[in-house]
Structure 1
């Protein structure tokens, strides 16, 4: 292996690392993946993903493989101390502007296995399982990785590294990168079980009409013991129980204790316990996401309380943001300065959502009955005033980096309508750079500018794509005739005229190499 050089080395082949490898290989890069385990992790950890992750799977041609492994659900419901609804973030009956449902639950060992299987499609991917990264050194041209497999040592040479090696990241620790503590740390017991019948819930009030408790993530904000109940893939269900002050973690995982906690939900319901483990829920973000040729992604870069199910989603957004930029740099089209935009974009994005999760965690974990009652009243008042939404509404736009941030809609996730023939937009147009024009006249006006662009851009006439008017409506709502979409499906920028000027702004934002820009 020491004689072989790769474009990218990915440390860790959990869901985030496996997606990164699929994205990089699909972009034409050679990839070395290192993972300590022989195969996928055998127990479920992450359980939730959203429409954006399904769109990423779609971008690498794995959506039809992974969709059957998903359970489509209907959002989140928060229940107060009196067993009445205090917050509903549901999606039942709502449109799907991004082409996929807002919430999916899955079984992580199955997801990991399918993502790893996806790597077998690419000759340029080498997966080294049961292999330990023991050290690394950087220089101006690449990174040397030191590897150990069953006591046999080797080295590998890569140009860039993406460290997806988890919350205890060896790479982050080796680089001496500190974590910014958002001051949330609570111990919880996580229980997964196979359940042969619907889960029982206590009598609840205020549940919206049409909302199905079996299809929702239900947060019991009960000061007696906060708990979460979420649907899983097939007949798998997950419970998360907050540990109360003075409770011992080892004691709380005993079968009889777990059975007692589950009994209100599973009394008389046949079930099989899969696991019970305690975790510390954290809010932590790395102070630096890049050190030379090494990048942190996923839990190596940030850790969030799980209250909106965005932990793994953050990591997948990280690698989707980074890989297309690395492809431009490795291909000799952009200067390495482009890669500085990774943390510029991702850190505020992650920080906003982790902060929202920490704030939710603080009210969810309230143990004082009086303060819990005050919380419930305040949250119901907010709901009456219309200050509600879905979990998707928590995801902010990019405000800096590779975005024309003074244009309408810049940095937003772009919609993905389903076309008249049932095909989704990205599948019809490709997932690269796209300039969407509001009509034929606008498309004709943009044609010469697109032809002269320094990067490959697909021109799309919104009136001929066969959608239901979603594209035209999106543009009209932002007073624009053109929208330029990035490879990760975020909006670079919009324009009412002069698409050539928008493309020129793109060239500058990408730090194109002089020969390419010319």
Structure 2
């Protein structure tokens, strides 16, 4: 009997196994393919994903596989900029750059290989799930070779065609966006050849940006990749045939303006339907859907895989609390109540962008360009600004947003990222004038890590002080962070800490004897 079984060992499933394996839970990972998928699919993650990898100790192995970039640029029908979500030259409040591109086969191999660090993680490659049954106490998995396995909970990370979702007969909510695109991956021995776009921001470097061409003649996207890998996405026009568009001569014709005179090698060309879909149920009994099994988003802001990683980091800490007996299983119902609105908000932004990017009428495209330039985004806006706060679930007074992660100096005089100093998990960040007092009992039960600003971490950048000021907090205030680095709640002073603890006990469903906090 395993604590958790994970179906699928792509980047999302493998990350879930790392998160759970780090807690010491016994984890079974079932993956039907013996080797990572050999072709690139997802290509982008953001700073929040880097923070997740930092937390599970993989960041040093991950960084060599990444290409750091500067955001997203949208070009109108006339060849001029209509939207810029860039981060070049800006501060990094979350500790990492906003955008990183990677080569998925490398990432998957690294994540899978790293699972050997956890004795309680059982990775079974070449094992295909064909069915599952669940009772009040566990789930039984039926494997293609006739074998059986059992787990107290199951996370389905088995992709857009999820066998688990289909077996549970969970329907998808269609957000009414479906467009056919040709995706082309190539390796270039030189820079992409861009035309002379107008209105470029002074700091913009086209080789370090995701460039979206809102051209009614054929909308397209060009994105950087790690090393010499580059990707193009070309919208198929009405009447075009998928197979015809994947022919080598047609692909070469589409690439020609961008690779003129540059030696290159085609890696693959495949057609996709970009969808906006969300599962109506993310939990059925002891089984949870995550990643593409739970939702599919158009790729216009590169958030598809990011959604899946947020799913599993949200679910992993809650499963650990429940399986360790420190919280009631009712806590797990907050998974969908938190993640579903979050995902829908980001998919909504991507669908809205997709609708204007995919405009094929020249007159409407010209009107769109003029309107977007009139209401140009606030200077300094980035794609990270699209990620909303949590508004329900495990959220107390003042909670919901992602917390920043500046570089701070620890008590030994070493400058490190904040999470490396606090140790992660639940963190109570105390203002520089907060007193040393006995903390509420449930903080001890949850193993809350306490960090005093100015003593345990010196805020030389001033980012923490600015955050406190922006949220109306004085130097004696405290901020309670969840294990996923989202803010649970705020305490203006020590007198408010008991109220904050009581809110935490309620939202975590801490019903076990000895774990509730006094009101």
Partner in structure 1 of residue 498 of structure 2: 500
| Distance change in 2, residues 1:238/1:24 (3 Å) | same
Superposed CA deviations along residues 82-140 of structure 1, whole A, max 9, x for unmatched, are 00000000000000000010000000000001111110101101111111101000001
Shift of 1:451: 8.1
Contact 2:424 2:449 (8 Å CA) reproduced: no
SS of the residue 1:258 aligns to: helix
Q: Secondary structure at 1:432's aligned position in 2?
A: coil
Deviation of the 1:450 alpha carbon:
6.6
Q: Distance in 2 between matches of 1:210 and 1:422?
A: 28
Paired position in structure 2 for 1:456? 447
- Aligned equivalent of 2:90: 94
Partner of 1:293: 286
2:126 to 106, 125, 130: 130
Distance in 1 separating the partners of 2:77 and 2:442: 61
CA contact (8 A) 1:450 1:457 kept: no
Between 54-63 and 453-462, the greater mean CA deviation after superposition? 453-462
Note the C-alpha offset of 1:79: 0.1
Cα distance in structure 2, aligned partners of 1:348 and 1:425: 28
Say whether residues 1:477 and 2:465 are aligned partners.
Answer: no
Paired with 2:415 and 2:439, the residues of 1 have a C-alpha distance of 31
How much does 1:473 deviate? 2.0
1:274-312 deviation digits (Å, cap 9, x = unpaired): 000000000000000000000000000000000000000
8 A contact 1:475–1:482 mirrored in 2: no
Give the 4+ runs in structure 1 shifted more than 6 A: none
Q: Does 1:416 align with 2:405?
A: yes
SS of structure 2 residue aligned to 1:448? coil
Q: How far apart are the structure 2 equivalents of 1:514 and 1:26?
A: 24
2:442/2:515 contact within 8 Å kept: no
Contact 2:8/2:32 (8 A) holds in 1: yes
Seen in structure 2, the aligned counterparts of structure 1 residues 436 and 223 have a Cα distance that, compared at 3 Å, is same
Name the count of aligned residue pairs. Answer: 505
1:27 and 1:102 map into 2 onto residues whose CA distance is: 28
For residues 433-455 of structure 1, give each alpha carbon's deviation from its aligned partner in whole angstroms, at most 9, with x where no partner exists: 1111111x31424x433786432
Residue 394 of structure 1 pairs with residue 377 of structure 2: no
TM superposition score normalised by structure 2: 0.96
Cα deviation code 1:345-382 (max 9, x no counterpart): 00000000001000000000000000000000010011
RMSD of aligned residue pairs (Cα, Å): 1.2
Contact 1:453 1:503 in 2 (8 A): no
The separation in 1 between residues aligned to 2:389 and 2:146, in whole angstroms, is: 45
CA distance in 1, matches of 2:18, 2:125: 16
3-state DSSP of counterpart to 2:217: coil
Summarize deviations over 1:181-224 as a string: whole Å, max 9, x none: 00000000000000000000112100111210000000000000
**Are 1:13 and 2:9 an aligned pair?**
yes
1:332–1:513 CA contact under 8 A, matched in 2: no
Q: Is the 8 A contact 2:325 2:512 kept in 1?
A: no
Give the structure 2 partner of residue 513 of structure 1: 511
In the alignment, the residues of structure 1 paired with residue 179 and residue 110 of structure 2 have an alpha-carbon distance, to the nearest angstrom, of 32
* Structure 1 residue 54 corresponds to structure 2 residue 50: yes
Q: Does the 8 Å contact 1:438/1:471 carry over to 2?
A: no
Matched, 1:120 2:113: no
Structure 2, unpaired ranges of 5+: none
Other-structure match for 1:259: 252
Give the one of 14, 22, 27 matched to 1:26: 22
* 1:186-225 alignment, distance < 5 Å: 186-225=179-218
Other-structure match for 2:79: 83
Q: Aligned ranges for residues 177-192 of structure 1 at < 5 Å? A: 177-192=170-185
Kindly provide the CA deviation profile for residues 292-335 of structure 1, in whole angstroms up to 9, marking residues without a partner as x: 00000000000000000000000000000001000011111111
Q: Does 1:302 align with 2:291?
A: no
2:159 is matched with which residue: 149, 166, 189?
166
- Answer with 70-79 or 478-487: which moved more: 478-487
Whole-Å separation in 1 of the counterparts to 2:37 and 2:293: 17
1:325 aligned residue: 318
Q: CA 1:102/1:458 → structure 2, altered by over 3 Å: closer, same or farther?
A: same
Aligned ranges 1:215-254 → 2 under 5 Å = 215-254=208-247
What runs of 5+ residues in structure 1 fail to find an aligned partner?
A: none
1:443–1:461 contact (8 Å) kept in structure 2: no
Matches within 5 A, 1:297-376: 297-376=290-369
Distance 2:326 2:266 in 1: 53
Is 416-425 or 130-139 further displaced after alignment?
416-425
SS in 2 for 1:423: strand
